[in-house]
Amino acid sequence: MTLVPHTPPRRTLRAALLGAVAVVAISAVAVENGVLTPNFATAADSQASAGPASFADVVDRVKSSVVSVKVKMAESADNSDSQEMPQFPPGSPMERFFKRFGMPDQNDGDSPRHPSHHLTMAQGSGFFISADGYIVTNNHVVDHATEVTVTTNDGKTLAAKVIGTDAKSDLALLKVQDAGTFPFVKFAEHTPRVGDWVIAVGNPFGLGGTVTAGIVSARGRDIGSGPYDDFLQIDAPVNHGNSGGPTFDTEGNVVGVNTAIFSPSGGSVGIGFAIASDVVQSVVAQLKDGGTVQRGWLGVEIQQVTQDIADSLNLKTASGALVAKENKDAPAAAAGVKIGDVITAVNGQTVADPRDLARRIADLGPKKSADLSIWRNGAQQTVSVTLGSMPNDEQQASAETPAKPDPDAAMAKLGMTLQHGADGVTVSDVDPSGPAADRGLQPGDVILEAAGQTVTRPAEVAKAFETAHADGRKSVLLRIKSGDAVRFVALPA
């Protein structure tokens, strides 16, 4: 057995992709052909209303559609993983221990280190969605694959081709290369409710067909993996190797694709995440048609509307998406969308937050028309825009009108000092206990706008606060540049 050193996570909790850890060997552990069927009895027979006494009938119907996915890929021994290995003094007991159990030799400095290439193997799960052999799995399972095979429930190993992948949703579509008719499953027509029973089937740790059960713990989760996060949170135990496997409802329909866990150790603690089936269907349909996913694109950078920002803009509720940056050549700018606008609805459907807006625009697709409800200068208006196609490497607009301030007595109560610089108005000092620091301002930040007006002198910033106070407004909205990032911050008037 080869021991693979593991670097402990720096944070107590972390989100972990579920693809099985790649093992430096071609002779992978054999996958079990049989289906492991745990006994899913309820806690008490008298409480039958708490859930079904057994999921065996559902499992019998769907297990033949679930496959184990095995991936070969080429890797360099001199990669980032090896660079993160702990370093020990030459000849020390720890160095001898790790060398003995497979740790790459450390460079002794006397001879150049030549990268060597070797094959690695990763494992995950997937499931048939059509009789002619199309399979859904995760993008991170097959990413950089040189060869993909799938093992069916009855032990057959079949070669598969990657039809298309989508990193933003972490989905991939495969196609079995052998001809045949394969058992497949359908997607659920309705999103499950929180509290509904679900069943996860997959290939954890390369064991082969494994079944677990639990409930939907939450919907619409954002775990920070991408701009279109919309996950089901489930407490059915899932582990490394469950990636790409299906989550079923009690009728045997797919409600999600298992993709990540939240765990202090990398093992299941009852917090798993599955890509919702409506997202999967939309992405898979495009992958099947053209191998790629085309999403609608506005060409703006947006941020959350906090209560402070809402107050400064006279918005009744802290919702919608605030435009912080724009690309001059993008559809939004061409339609007249401006920095400082709050997009509150798309085609009459209310926008809850930036993530909600990003999903709605992406789902509409390129070349589609959309009516954006905009809050601007204290009034609601509508802007019509023809969406573009999101670039593969999306570029954010850069601010071209920087501004920097000078120390001003009016800023003392906010806990910041402003000074005039060559580029405009800059924050030269911040009191750690003041309102400015509380809202994230730091020395070196540049104030581009105050109350919607471009500022080039500290006095102009101070004037914006004086005017707001006289008008009875609670706060002033500042547009701040921090390094390459631009955002809005509301400070009390």
Percentage of the chain beyond pLDDT 70 is: 74
pLDDT of residue 409: 59
pLDDT of residue 200: 93
Q: How far is CA 345 from the centre of its chain?
A: 23
pLDDT of residue 38: 41
Tell whether the model's pLDDT for residue 412 goes beyond 70: yes
More confident residue, 6 or 434: 434
Tell whether the model's pLDDT for residue 39 goes beyond 50: no
Domains 296-389 and 405-492 share a fold: yes
Tell whether the model's pLDDT for residue 105 goes beyond 60: no
Count the residues in the chain.
493
pLDDT, tens digit, 9 for 90 and up, residues 124-154: 999 999 999 999 999 999 988 899 999 999 8
More confident residue, 2 or 65: 65
pLDDT, tens digit, 9 for 90 and up, residues 420-432: 766 668 888 888 8
Q: Where are the domains of the chain?
A: 1-35+55-103+117-293, 296-389, 405-492
* Burial class of 262 by CB neighbour count within 10 A (0 to 12, 13 to 18, 19+): middle
More confident residue, 87 or 385: 385
pLDDT, tens digit, 9 for 90 and up, residues 259-311: 887 766 666 778 889 999 999 999 999 999 988 888 999 999 899 999 989 99
| Closest among 384, 428, 375, 404 to 480, alpha carbons compared | 404
pLDDT of residue 423: 64
pLDDT of residue 374: 95
User: Which CATH entry fits the domain spanning 296-389: 3.40.605.10, 2.60.40.1180, 2.70.70.10, 2.30.42.10?
Assistant: 2.30.42.10
Write down the pTM of the prediction.
Answer: 0.61
pLDDT, tens digit, 9 for 90 and up, residues 153-184: 989 999 999 999 998 889 999 999 988 899 99
Residue 181 backbone phi and psi in degrees, to 5? -115, 125
Range 89-98 average pLDDT: 51
Is 133 in contact with 161 (CB distance < 8 Å)? no
Is 126 in contact with 245 (CB distance < 8 Å)? yes
Strand pairing partners for 211?
A: 201
| Closest among 353, 331, 334 to 344, alpha carbons compared | 353
Identify the CATH homologous superfamily for domain 405-492.
PDZ domain (2.30.42.10)
The mean of the pLDDT values for the chain is 78
Strand pairing partners for 108?
A: none
pLDDT, tens digit, 9 for 90 and up, residues 7-19: 333 333 344 555 5
Is 14 in contact with 269 (CB distance < 8 Å)? no
Active-site annotation, residues: 140, 170, 243
More confident residue, 398 or 324: 324
Question: What's the fold here for domain 1-35+55-103+117-293?
Answer: Thrombin, subunit H (2.40.10)
